[in-house]
């Protein structure tokens, strides 16, 4: 029996060491997102020319622990105000960024940077410019809500555009 107790203790010690060692080593994980987006102009130069816009965004990320490196592609259409002869603004975005999760992986802050490929419905003016975005959100039971602020320059001669975004959709960690 004395030999059996030593073996049992040895097995428990190995399990404890294995469990604590595995807790220190984080396996990479993948995340997929798909969000619907409502954006509202948040500066006067942009709100004079455009109304709120609807869009969609999809992305994927790779992370270790509570940090996730993301890539997203999206489309946004802002309605034109009566002061805008160029028409509705269409934006296709390609962004990369980082999310930092906290509080049991439910809350996160994010920062993205990329390109905004833009065109207008009633004009031949096109362009692409740098876009950056920051904000935060919550992820719970595969659903996600984000509140972000985005900044970019339109191809027409106006001050930099800013929009407040509300994004709601699905977030799946694999």
| Residue-wise pLDDT tens digits, 19-74 | 544 445 567 889 999 999 999 999 888 888 889 999 999 999 999 888 999 999 99
Domain boundaries, the chain: 26-173
The residue assigned the tokens 């920062």 is 111
Question: Which pLDDT belongs to residue 16?
Answer: 57
Q: What are phi and psi of 8, to 5 degrees?
A: -65, -45
Confidence of residue 174 (pLDDT cuts 50, 70, 90): confident
Has residue 162 got a pLDDT over 90?
yes
List the one residue out of 171, 163, 115, 116 whose CA is nearest residue 143.
Answer: 171
CATH 1.10.10.60 fits 26-173, yes or no: no
Q: How many other CB atoms are found less than 10 A from the CB of residue 139? A: 21
Q: Please, what sign has the CA dihedral across residues 116, 41, 158, 89?
A: positive
Q: How far apart are CA 44 and CA 7, in angstroms?
A: 74
Beta bridge partners of 72: 59, 95
Predicted structure pTM score: 0.80
């Amino acid at each position: 029996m004395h030999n059996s107790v030593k073996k049992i203790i040895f097995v428990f010690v190995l399990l404890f060491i294995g469990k604590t060692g595995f807790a220190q080593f984080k396996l990479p994980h993948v995340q997929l997102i798909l969000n619907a987006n409502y954006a509202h102009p948040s500066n006067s130069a942009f709100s004079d020319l455009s109304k709120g816009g609807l869009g969609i965004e999809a992305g994927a990320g790779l992370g270790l622990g509570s940090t996730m490196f993301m890539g997203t592609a999206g489309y946004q259409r802002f309605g034109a105000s009566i002061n805008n002869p160029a028409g509705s603004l269409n934006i296709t975005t390609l962004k990369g960024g980082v999310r930092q999760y906290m509080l049991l992986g439910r809350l996160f802050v994010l920062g993205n940077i990329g390109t905004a490929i833009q065109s207008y419905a009633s004009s031949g003016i096109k362009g692409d410019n740098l876009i950056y975005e920051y904000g935060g959100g919550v992820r719970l039971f595969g659903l996600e809500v984000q509140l972000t602020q985005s900044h970019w320059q339109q191809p027409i001669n106006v001050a930099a555009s800013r929009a407040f975004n509300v994004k709601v959709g699905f977030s799946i960690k694999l």
